[in-house]
């Protein structure tokens, strides 16, 4: 027991900074790529914003429009729906499956929730427009439908042995058009006023509560690091030096609070603020301003990210997902019911599609037939850019979310600097292939299969 600790001691001296911090180099690479994208677009938009061109890069960055609070806010609320589904796609791909039907499932759930809010609940069931039960009932129905459709897909894959590619390719055609049939192709709106709060700009925590959430999140991050250290010490395993833990905790807190500060800095337009006050029957004080703060949808994404990370790393379910992806036969021989596991993984994917449907629909403020079109490709791309291996067994939740963020930043940035639409898609396609190629090279270097 003591031997490994003794061996570790001399090794520390030879270790570099990154090893001491125990940060995954590939995660670092992704963060680096993201920062490069941010800085490049900041400079590029800066050049375009300046009246006269100068050769001073600092002037470019200072005049940039990419990292201003408004754009950061927009990017975060635009990425949420894809990012939520990408966390589920990680599990699907890790178990050596694929789900091509997520965009269609999102559309079907959205269609059901749209009809419930616009027609069935207020009119057919007579609750009346604006009844407080409409939003929760519609959401529960959407989440239940997503889970059921996902479980059915999983049953076809796990118990009937149809390849996931085929089942979900069928689903891609079936679910969206089932939604179309249910709504007769009509746009569903206007939506319930409570429901819309989950879309982004309409529902935010405001500056004070955003700081509270940010501080709680920071405290939890520090607590988590401390607990992990204690667990290691209890069993006498080597731990990293205290300063390294401090640096990590500092980076985590700075990232969380920095994002909160940016979101708070985006001020609600005066006209909108005035309407908010009027809706409450109050008069807006002169010169009153306040920031948006953390949108509910982003808070939901954060909670999903934490929950899915805990599932992946700390539950038996998650352990079995990765074991099955690494070696399905071994998992089966270890007594894992891999068929039921497949059903659960697809059901979870379906649930997350339902959740994304709530957020996507609320953000667009109505249901249309083309909601979530091509989302399957964005979601798969986010998971793969985030380091999920299509061969199975490898993938992380935080990687997938970072992948979604990188894609959304690229698209947003390209739109801002005026890249033509066909080129935007060409760039995203190239980035996807490039990300996987870099990943393969990285694994070869490190000798990981």
CB 325 to another protein: min, Å: 7
If phi > 0 it is left, if psi is from -120 to 50 it is alpha, else beta; for residue 376 that is: alpha
Give Rg (Cα) of the chain. 24
Rounded distance, CA 99 to CA 90, Å? 10
Q: Which is nearer to another protein, 133 or 391 (CB)?
A: 391
Question: Of all helices (H) and strands (E), which one includes residue 201?
Answer: none
Stretch that binds another protein, among 29-37, 175-183, 310-318, 355-363 (CB under 8 A): 310-318
Q: Is 189 in the site for another protein (CB under 8 A)?
A: no
Structure tokens at 337: 């019911």
Q: Is 308 in the site for another protein (CB under 8 A)?
A: no
Sign of the CA dihedral running 416, 419, 423, 428: negative
Stretch that binds another protein, among 274-282, 308-316, 343-351, 375-383 (CB under 8 A): 308-316
Question: Of all helices (H) and strands (E), which one includes residue 300?
Answer: helix 296-314
Q: Of 54, 315, 365, 425, which one interacts with another protein (CB under 8 A)?
A: 315
Q: Is 370 in the site for another protein (CB under 8 A)?
A: no
Q: Is 333 in the site for another protein (CB under 8 A)?
A: yes
Residues touching another protein, count (CB under 8 A): 34
Beta carbons of 30 and 386 less than 8 angstroms apart: yes
Q: Is 267 in the site for another protein (CB under 8 A)?
A: no
Q: Is 96 in the site for another protein (CB under 8 A)?
A: no
Q: Is 242 in the site for another protein (CB under 8 A)?
A: no
Cβ contacts of residue 218 below 8 Å, gap of 6+?
252, 253, 256, 257
Beta carbons of 125 and 131 less than 8 angstroms apart: no
Q: Is 237 in the site for another protein (CB under 8 A)?
A: yes
Q: Which of 302, 301, 300 is nearest to 217 (CA)?
A: 302
Residues of span 157-176 touching another protein by CB under 8 A: none
Q: Of 280, 329, 420, 421, which one interacts with another protein (CB under 8 A)?
A: 329
Q: Which is nearer to another protein, 69 or 326 (CB)?
A: 326
Structure tokens at 107: 């559309």
If phi > 0 it is left, if psi is from -120 to 50 it is alpha, else beta; for residue 236 that is: left
Rounded distance, CA 334 to CA 345, Å? 19
Q: Is 11 in the site for another protein (CB under 8 A)?
A: no
Q: Which is nearer to another protein, 77 or 336 (CB)?
A: 336
Q: Is 227 in the site for another protein (CB under 8 A)?
A: no
Is the preceding omega at residue 47 within 30 degrees of 0, hence cis? Answer: no
Per-residue burial over 354-387, b if 16 or more Cβ lie within 10 Å, else e, is bbbbbbbbbbbebbbbebbeebbbbbbbbbbbbb
Stretch that binds another protein, among 23-31, 166-174, 323-331, 414-422 (CB under 8 A): 323-331
Q: Is 445 in the site for another protein (CB under 8 A)?
A: no
Rounded distance, CA 88 to CA 317, Å? 13
Q: Which is nearer to another protein, 15 or 316 (CB)?
A: 316
Stretch that binds another protein, among 56-64, 317-325, 343-351, 407-415 (CB under 8 A): 317-325
Q: Is 28 in the site for another protein (CB under 8 A)?
A: no
Q: Which is nearer to another protein, 149 or 312 (CB)?
A: 312
Stretch that binds another protein, among 193-201, 245-253, 320-328, 352-360 (CB under 8 A): 320-328
Query: Which residues contact another protein by CB under 8 A?
Result: 1, 4, 7, 231-232, 234-237, 310, 314-316, 319-320, 322-327, 329-336, 393-394, 447-449
């Amino acid at each position: 027991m003591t031997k490994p600790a003794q061996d570790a001691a001399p090794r520390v001296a030879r270790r570099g900074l990154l090893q001491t911090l125990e940060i995954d180099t590939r995660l670092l690479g992704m963060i680096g790529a993201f920062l490069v994208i941010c800085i490049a677009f900041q400079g590029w938009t800066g050049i375009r914003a300046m009246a006269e061109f100068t050769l001073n890069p600092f002037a470019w960055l200072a005049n940039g429009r990419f990292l201003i609070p408004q754009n950061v806010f927009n990017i975060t609320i635009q990425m949420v729906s894809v990012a939520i589904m990408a966390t589920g796609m990680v599990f699907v791909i890790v178990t050596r499956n694929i789900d091509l039907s997520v965009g269609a499932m999102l559309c079907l759930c959205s269609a059901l929730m749209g009809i419930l809010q616009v027609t069935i609940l207020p009119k057919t069931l007579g609750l009346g427009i604006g009844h407080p039960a409409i939003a929760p009932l519609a959401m529960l129905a959407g989440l239940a439908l997503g889970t059921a459709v996902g479980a059915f897909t999983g049953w076809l894959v796990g118990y009937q042995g149809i390849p996931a590619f085929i089942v979900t390719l069928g689903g891609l055609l079936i679910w969206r058009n089932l939604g179309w049939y249910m709504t007769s192709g009509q746009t569903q709106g206007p939506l319930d006023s409570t429901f819309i709060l989950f879309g982004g700009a309409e529902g935010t925590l405001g500056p004070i509560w955003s700081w509270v959430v940010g501080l709680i999140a920071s405290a939890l991050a520090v607590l988590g690091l401390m607990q992990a250290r204690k667990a290691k010490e209890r069993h006498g395993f080597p731990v990293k030096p205290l300063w390294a833990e401090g640096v990590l905790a500092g980076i985590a807190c700075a990232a969380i609070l920095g994002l909160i500060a940016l979101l708070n800095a985006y001020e609600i337009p005066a006209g909108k603020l005035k309407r908010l006050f009027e809706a409450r029957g109050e008069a807006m004080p002169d010169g009153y301003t306040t920031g948006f703060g953390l949108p509910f949808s982003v808070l939901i994404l954060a909670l999903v990210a934490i929950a899915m990370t805990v599932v992946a790393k700390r539950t038996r379910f998650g352990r079995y997902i990765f074991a099955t992806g690494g070696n399905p036969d071994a998992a089966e021989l270890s007594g894992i019911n891999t068929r039921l596991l497949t059903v659960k993984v697809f059901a979870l994917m379906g649930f997350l599609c339902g959740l994304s449907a709530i957020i996507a629909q609320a953000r667009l403020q109505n249901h249309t037939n083309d909601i979530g079109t091509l989302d399957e490709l964005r979601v798969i791309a986010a998971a793969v850019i985030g380091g999920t291996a299509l061969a199975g067994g490898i993938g992380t939740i935080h990687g997938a979310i970072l992948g979604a963020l990188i894609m959304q930043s690229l698209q947003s940035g390209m739109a801002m600097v005026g890249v033509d639409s066909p080129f935007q898609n060409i760039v995203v396609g190239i980035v996807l292939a490039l990300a996987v190629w870099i990943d393969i090279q990285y694994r070869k270097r490190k000798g990981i299969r």
